[in-house]
A and B are shown apart, each in its own frame.
Chain A
Amino acid sequence: MLPSPARRLLRNAAAAGLLFAALGCSPGKPGSAPPGPAPPSSAAPEGRPVTLLYLDPASGLLAPCPATAVLMGNAQGDLCEVTRRYLAGPACGDRMPVFPEGTALRGLYVLEGGIVVVDLSGQAASGAGSATETARVYGLVDTLCLNFPEVRAVRLLVEGREVETLLGNVDLARPLPPEAGLAAPEVQAALGRKP
């Protein structure tokens, strides 16, 4: 059962005819996102290369880290999969994770107009500093926008609730479009392409 703010958000979206797909992700292990690819399913899936953006300590920018994710061609399920993969942290030695260990995906909803709502567990809101916060928020937002061209903006919830900010700065009251300037030069063009 969704807590009421998330329900309200979705109800408003539905009332406005905006709802495109609003199914929760199939439950992951709470508190520990699976580090590897998703468990095999009956559709005999294949791994697809994806690009995850993590903190590059040298430049302070979000830099690419290649990974493989099992995608089924279903936008909502694939977004869940890439988000879980993202929260599990980088497999590239020179990149740093941006979410605290144990941050889990509670739910993910796709609204019309390329808006994705991502509901994260409470760990997402611990820590301090705008460098930490922008890397965390835009690590995920830019990663989803980079891998799914149909995604235009991402709205973040924490524990099913609308929050003002994660760590005191970035406005989470509205869906966030990607911020190419916080990403490494090699992915800026791909992120900036969004209309």
Chain B
Amino acid sequence: MTRPARFATRLLAAGLLVALALGAPALELSVPGGRKVHLESTSSEGTRWVCLDALAKALGGQTGRDPLSRYPVWTLGGHRVLFSTATPMTSVDGKLLTTKHPAREKDGCLWVPEEFLTLGLPLVLGGPVSVDGAEAVKAVPEALPKAAEPAPAAEGGTNLEVAVAADSVRITLQGTASASAQVRREGDALLVTLPRGRIETGVRDLGSGIARSLAPEAEGRGIKVSLGAGFQSFETAALRNPERLVILLKGQGQVVPQPPPASPAPESAAASRPARSPGRFLVVLDPGHGGTDAGAVGPGNLQEKEVALALAAKVGEALEKGGAQAVLTRSGDSFVPLTQRTAIANYNRADLFVSIHLNASPAAAAKGAETYYMSKEASDLWSRQLADKENSAAGGDGGGDTLSLVLWNLAQNQYIVESSALAEAVQGKLNQLLGTKERGVRQAPFVVLEGAQMPAVLVEVAFLSNPAEANQLKDPAFLGEVADLLAQSLLEFREKHASQPGPAPAP
């Protein structure tokens, strides 16, 4: 960790400590059976936190560590809850829930955000839960599309992934038999049948007006997708590397009868989640660095964090002008941890994630833009290692949900092909402007890209270590030009790929 990052971590820890010390009033939890439970809570970052051990003491069950992932775990009445402190994810019996904040470990306690109490607890306790008498929340938490299912146990197994967007539903079958699957419409349903093997899925509520739900069919060899009133047409595309079939179900124009998976989040969380306009193209822009982390520093103390923020704001404006929606991971000079930046994109169900940086190299003459997307080599190796660990840990309890939660951190694995096409689109535009050819699209396992559940790239616009480029970056007109081109490349990417289910083939 760099010195500024270390400092920032200390600062955050100190802030949390102060916040925890200040405390907050006890919290009243109403649980099924009319019982009321009082818990001590602390307040920080606009939410309240309870200690998992206190929760377990009040409600029962055991707390400990998952032997495979070392994630904190709570078991109660046959239910198993796994908390991630790195990403705002919780797994309840294998079902992935997303919260605004990840759980925190501090002072011998795992601090769980209040949001978990209304989202996750109902699943554990089998009924509605409310906090401080607030209206009970319906006990159907949102399940995110899983990044990757556990590796198929038997040969010919086919994994299924569903991504629900405002104007489409994308079903991806991954496995060697997927390319020869038959897809046909029968009345209000779409039937997908494999020539051999099984599709690994249970019944899933999709909560979209285009496709309402899906269920296993033909003794596991197929699935039946129940279409909604918003369904208009479907397309399929067989993609390689890995072998997969993408089925894109499209809605009628911009009209979507229901938003993507109903958000049962409590009011506090709903308010903090920026409203996504149905049918709109949403891009999460991530200005690199911030706060105590200045990033690269050019001549005249020109700081990467400042230029990145100015650029991201301009790209956002240009996108809005183009009819898209933009959300920035930071709007001021603040430190945001890497995994939280990706989490913001996932939380908003963005269509694209673009991290914006300025480069530096030991070679003073280095110039031009570089665009990175996730490394396939690293992603493949890590997924394989996790699957191996999983297999060797046979006999351990509840390994499957551990794997899906751990793999969630490698969600980008599913979008590498799309991200590569996005990187080409962005880089192509910047090369035109900067007149560079020799530098371009590259792959590396960047932390900020790994967990993104959408096409994601990191663009290094120009070199702050190059005096001529640093000079250009001081000019607001030049930044405006770069921003317009970046926005244009994203809008064009959307145009191109909205009309076809599979993007460019793998490089």
Binding site for B on A (CB under 8 A): 16, 55, 57-60, 96-98, 125-132, 134-135, 138, 152-153, 158, 163-165, 167-171, 173-182
Contacts and interface: CB of A to CB of B under 8 A. Distances in A.
B365 interface: yes
B390 to A, nearest CB: 13
9 contacts: A57-B365, A128-B297, A128-B304, A131-B460, A132-B361, A168-B2, A169-B458, A171-B445, A174-B382
Interface in B363-377: 363, 365-366, 370, 372, 375, 377
B59 interface: no
Contact of B360 (A96, A132, A165): A132
Nearest to B386: A174
Contacts, number: 120
A125 to B, nearest CB: 6
B443 to A, nearest CB: 5
A50 to B, nearest CB: 22
Contacts of B358: 129
A71 to B, nearest CB: 27
Contacts of A167: 2
Interface string B374-414: 01011001100100000010000000000000000000000
B438 interface: yes
A3 B385 CA distance: 26
Interface of B is mostly: mixed
A164 B463 CA distance: 24
Nearest to A167: B2
Given A60-B361, A96-B362, A164-B338, A125 B2 contact: yes
Contacts of A163: 1
A34 B439 CA distance: 33
A175 B297 CA distance: 30
Contacts of A176: 378, 445
B366 A57 contact: yes
A134 B442 contact: yes
Contacts of B460: 129-131
Contacts of B361: 55, 57, 60, 129, 131-132, 135
B464 A129 contact: yes
A128 B447 contact: no
A63 B465 CA distance: 21
B296 A171 contact: no
B442 A132 contact: no
Contact of B370 (A125, A131, A152, A168): A131
B362 A179 contact: no
A113 to B, nearest CB: 9
A131 B447 contact: no
B163 interface: no
A132 B378 contact: no
B158 interface: no
B450 interface: yes
B289 A168 contact: yes
B450 A171 contact: yes
A44 B448 CA distance: 49
A128 B302 CA distance: 13
Interface of B: 1-3, 5, 288-289, 293, 295-297, 304, 338, 357-363, 365-366, 370, 372, 375, 377-378, 381-382, 385, 392, 438-439, 442-448, 450, 458, 460, 463-465
Nearest to B70: A12
A134 B382 CA distance: 19
A130 to B, nearest CB: 6
Contacts of A169: 372, 444, 446-448, 458
Ranked 9 nearest A-B pairs via Cβ: A129-B360, A57-B363, A128-B296, A131-B361, A169-B446, A177-B377, A171-B445, A129-B296, A171-B447
Given A60-B438, A129-B359, A129-B361, A170 B444 contact: yes
Given A60-B438, A96-B363, A170-B445, 14 more contacts: A57-B366, A128-B296, A128-B297, A129-B359, A130-B370, A130-B444, A131-B370, A168-B293, A169-B444, A169-B447, A170-B447, A171-B446, A177-B381, A182-B442
Given A169-B447, A174-B382, A178-B377, A126 B2 contact: yes
Given A59-B438, A130-B460, A131-B370, A171 B363 contact: no
A96 B375 CA distance: 24
Contacts of A96: 362-363
A181 B441 CA distance: 9
B463 A131 contact: yes
A165 B1 contact: yes
Contacts of A59: 438
B295 A128 contact: yes
B286 to A, nearest CB: 12
Nearest to B358: A129
A154 to B, nearest CB: 11
A180 B444 CA distance: 10
Contacts of B297: 128
A110 B42 CA distance: 45
A125 B359 CA distance: 16
A59 B363 CA distance: 10
B359 to A, nearest CB: 5
A170 B360 CA distance: 15
B366 A165 contact: no
Contacts of B448: 169
Contacts of A131: 359-361, 363, 366, 370, 460, 463
A168 B338 contact: yes
A96 B363 CA distance: 7
A180 B261 CA distance: 40
A59 to B, nearest CB: 6
A60 B439 CA distance: 7
A181 B443 contact: yes
Interface centre among A16, A130, A153, by most chain B C-beta atoms within 10 angstroms, is A130
Contacts of B372: 130, 169
A67 to B, nearest CB: 19
